[in-house]
A and B are shown apart, each in its own frame.
Chain A
Amino acid sequence: MAVNGKKIYKLMIVDDSNIMRRRIERSQTFEELELVGTAGNGLDAIELFKRSDPDVVTMDLTMPQMDGIECISRLVSMKPAVRILVISALADKATAVEAMEKGANGFLNKPFTDRQLNEAIAELLGSRGR
């Protein structure tokens, strides 16, 4: 689907914090992103992913039941073209590298400003098809 000549990408937000899920939804300014759902842990994210087939995912790492690293692996195995932006308070390089090796495409540290979030999403959308 396209709006104003722009392709619409389906967005899924995964974070165990209600505040963060709402914050990401409210702060992202991309008209080409359509929110298809949010999940509070990795297991729920996989169920939602199967139902709604998102193109873009924001992913927390520290979550109950299934963490973000495991969830990234599962999502990428189901849909290799999915673009995943990790948004996490885990600020060490080793964690970022592990997430990228599992298939994430970007990493944003919490806390973040609206500008930082939108720049990270822009980079993620700009990297589609590489």
Chain B
Amino acid sequence: MLYEQELKTFVDATTNFFVVAAQEPASIGSPYLMEGAPAVHEYTGVINISGKREGVVYFTAPKAMLTVMLMKMQENDFSHETMRDLVGEVANTISGNARRDFSRDFVISVPNVLTGEERPEVPREPGRRSFIIPINWRSHSAKLVVSLT
């Protein structure tokens, strides 16, 4: 069972990144349950969680959104590596906040970045619920996916 407070930690970490780093708040769409294959955009930052809960949390964003974020951050390098870097930093922030808010019963990995059609492994098992939370920023939309037992 995923508790509301745990979900809030992941959402707050993500939206805080937009406020502070990209200097413009993001809005949250209505969460919904994931069905079928994990949904991804072009760049995905993944953290794995084990211990008290098992699963995966990932932030996935389209290149167009990351490009505008980089512009807002005064970046002028829009290479593939920089896109990877940025989505990794968002995941890094989520990981750091989770370590702060959750007890040591949670083991939280350093982020891993996937690109293109690569998809995170989201095991299907009884008791696991996978939430997709739309993250809307300017005219773009990314997804925060939280899949924990």
A residues sitting closer than 8 Å to B (CB atoms) are 17-20, 22-23, 26, 62, 88-93, 95, 109-113
Contacts and interface: CB of A to CB of B under 8 A. Distances in A.
Contacts of A92: 96, 99-100
Contacts of B81: 18
Interface centre among A19, A92, A110 (most CB of B within 10 A): A19
A113 B20 contact: yes
A23 B89 CA distance: 13
Contacts of B92: 17, 62, 89, 110
A72 B2 CA distance: 37
Interface residues of B, number: 23
Interface centre among B17, B74, B89 (most CB of A within 10 A): B89
A17 B96 contact: no
Contacts of B21: 111
A91 B74 contact: no
Interface of B: 16-17, 20-21, 70, 73-75, 77, 81-82, 85-86, 88-89, 92-93, 95-97, 99-100, 110
Contacts of A111: 16-17, 20-21, 89, 93
Nearest to B99: A92
Given A62-B110, A95-B99, A89 B89 contact: yes
Contacts of A113: 20
A89 B92 CA distance: 6
A93 B99 CA distance: 10
B96 A90 contact: yes
A34 B132 CA distance: 45
Nearest to B88: A17
Interface centre among A88, A89, A109 (most CB of B within 10 A): A89
Nearest to B96: A89
15 contacts: A18-B85, A19-B70, A19-B86, A23-B73, A26-B74, A62-B110, A89-B92, A89-B96, A91-B96, A91-B100, A95-B99, A110-B89, A110-B92, A111-B89, A111-B93
B129 to A, nearest CB: 26
Contacts of B75: 19, 22-23
